[in-house]
Amino acid sequence: MNIAFFPDLFALTLLIVILAMVRRRHSDARADAWLLGLSFTLIESIAHTFYATTGVPGKVLHVIVLACYVLAGVVFNWAAGDQLVERSKRLLYLGLNGLSLLVLTTIYGLNLRYPNIYIPAIVAGVLIGVGTSIFVRRNWYYAALYVSGWTAVAVLIAQYDYRAAVYWSLACLYAIAALNFQRRLERHSTGKLAIVTGFSIWALFFLTHPWVMDHHAARADIASHVWNMQKSLISIGMILIMLEEQVTNNEWLALHDELTGLPNRRLFAARLTSAVEYSERKKTSLALVVLDLNDFKQINDSQGHVAGDQVLREVSSVLRKSIRATDTVARLGGDEFIIVVTDMPNANAVERFTDSIRSAIERPMMVNDKPMVVGASFGFAMYPNDAKDATKLLRLADQRMYFLKKRPVHQAQIAAGMAVHEA
């Protein structure tokens, strides 16, 4: 047992525990994959401490270490892979290709040094790589890369350079993980920098490992300590990513309605101020539209708050689709929504806009697997004709909405909507 590895082992264990604690507050499939991948690296580190200080490692320990390298690399590539690709296809693609590499490293770990023994693994690697690239990923470029990679392995095996064949294959696996994380993670993330750097260093160490062992074996212990450093760097990067996403999520929740995802009152106030300033500079008009769902309380009372929440989400979706990119829709609270509509020339244009939204909202929607028609009442105020102050605009639009809501025509619309629902 090499006790010199204990500090590195303890540090890695501690970081994995911290990552697991952070994951409890920010649980997702990617974080689970990160933990699984780091668990394999922890097993590898534990097995590494039992290596003999000199000579060839024990076969069982060597197989465990190499298998953990492969499994961790596959899991990390899974976590960094294209999430738009179907889950079952990604699993099939990575699993089959990882199996070929696992067979290759196992043969090497068992200290079998006969070229013919490696041929089946190489042939299988080529066939599986080409087959999955064409039929699963639909990508001939990937197929060509697999042919090139496994051909290089075959050449190295034919030259009896088994170590280079295995470790250069692992270098490719971890270099791909570095590239995938580079493409998938947020551009300006500190955690991304740590993760990509860590995997790049890992790939570099796999690439240089044969040279170190052949020419500088006496310094292998020093190389091993540096080797373990990038594992901690990757762990720290993953913790940073999760914390950064948690902060971003908290910032988003502070400015958005959690149920509908629409801007909340705070964000809307800022957007309204910006819209007023824009209209003032461009000498244009804007409309502030307030809408309230008719008889929403009755929906909550008769069908429950779950149905009411579903109605609010459906209405929010309709509103998002009904406005332009320059407009803003927000949920003020309850069943009340508000829209800032820019570049509205006059009241007639606003009325046409509200009529189109009313028609969209009053189309039957499915709630609890049943069709329902929900009515809405509208009120609006225009800048600068009605008021030049955001607070006065909102108060005036709100007053007009409640005034129009009490008119008989709206009572008839409410009755018609409920009649459709009861039918």
- DSSP assignment string, 332-374: EETTEEEEEEES--SHHHHHHHHHHHHHHHTS-EEETTEEE--
pLDDT band at 415 (very low <50, low <70, confident <90, very high): very low
Q: What is the pLDDT of residue 176?
A: 94
* Structure-block tokens of residue 215: 């020419």
Q: pLDDT digit string (tens) for 301-314? A: 888 888 889 999 99
Q: Of 213, 234, 255, which residue is a domain's last?
A: 255
Q: Are residues 219 and 246 in the same domain?
A: yes
Say which CATH number the domain at 353 has. 3.30.70.270
State the angle between helix axes of 6-25 and 220-255 in degrees (0 to 180), rounded to the nearest 10: 10
Span 286-303, average pLDDT: 88
Phi, psi of 127, rounded to the nearest 5 degrees: -65, -45
Count the domains in the chain. 2
Range among 113-127, 182-196, 243-257 rated most confident: 113-127
pLDDT score, position 1? 63
Last residue of a domain, one of 210, 228, 255: 255
Q: So what's the pLDDT on residue 209?
A: 82
Q: What is the predicted pLDDT for the residue at 253?
A: 84
Alpha-carbon distance of 262 to 87, in angstroms, equals 29
Element (H, E) at 194: helix 190-215
Q: How far is the first Cα of the chain from the last one, in angstroms, to the nearest whole number?
A: 78
Q: Check whether residue 398 and residue 292 sit in a common domain.
A: yes
d(CA 303, CA 307): 6
Asked whether the predicted pLDDT for residue 407 surpasses 70, the reply is: no
Question: Is pLDDT above 60 for 343?
Answer: yes
Is residue 260 in some structural domain? no
pLDDT band at 282, cuts 50/70/90? confident
β partners of residue 330:
338
Query: Left, alpha or beta for 369 (phi > 0: left; psi -120 to 50: alpha)?
Result: left
pLDDT at 391: 86
**b/e string for 94-133 if b means 16 or more Cβ within 10 A?**
bebbbbbbbbbbbbbbeeeeeeeebeebbebbbebbbebb
Asked if 354 and 219 sit in the same domain, the reply is no
Q: Is the domain of 150 the same as that of 215?
A: yes
> Which pLDDT value is given to residue 98?
93
120 CB contacts (<8 Å, ≥6 apart)? none
Q: What is the pTM of this model?
A: 0.69
pLDDT-derived band at 412 (thresholds 50, 70, 90) equals very low
Considering the domain boundaries, does residue 41 fall inside one? yes
pLDDT band at 217 (very low <50, low <70, confident <90, very high): low
List the catalytic residue out of 8, 257, 327, 335.
335
Enter the tokens of residue 396. 């005036």
- Averaged confidence pLDDT in the chain: 85
- Statement to judge: residues 283 and 241 lie in one domain: no
Q: Tokens 């047992």, residue? A: 1
- 21-53 pLDDT per residue, tens: 877 766 666 788 888 999 999 998 888 788 766
Identify whether residues 141 and 246 lie together within a single domain. yes
Helix H or strand E segment including 126: helix 115-135
- Across residues 91-101, what is the average pLDDT? 92
Q: Cα angle at 129 between 124 and 131, to 5 degrees?
A: 95
**Mean pLDDT, residues 54-82:** 87
Q: Which amino acid is it at 261?
A: G
Query: Considering the domain boundaries, does residue 44 fall inside one?
Result: yes
Give yes or no for residue 414 having a pLDDT over 50.
Answer: no
Which domain range does residue 332 map to? Answer: 265-422
Distance from C-alpha of 218 to C-alpha of 173, rounded to nearest angstrom: 27
How far apart are alpha carbons 41 and 144 in whole angstroms?
30
257 part of the active site: no
126-130, 234-238, 281-285, 405-409: least confident range: 405-409
Residues 190, 314: one domain?
no
My answer on whether 411 and 360 are in the same domain is yes
Q: What whole-number distance in Å separates Cα of residue 311 and Cα of residue 300? A: 10
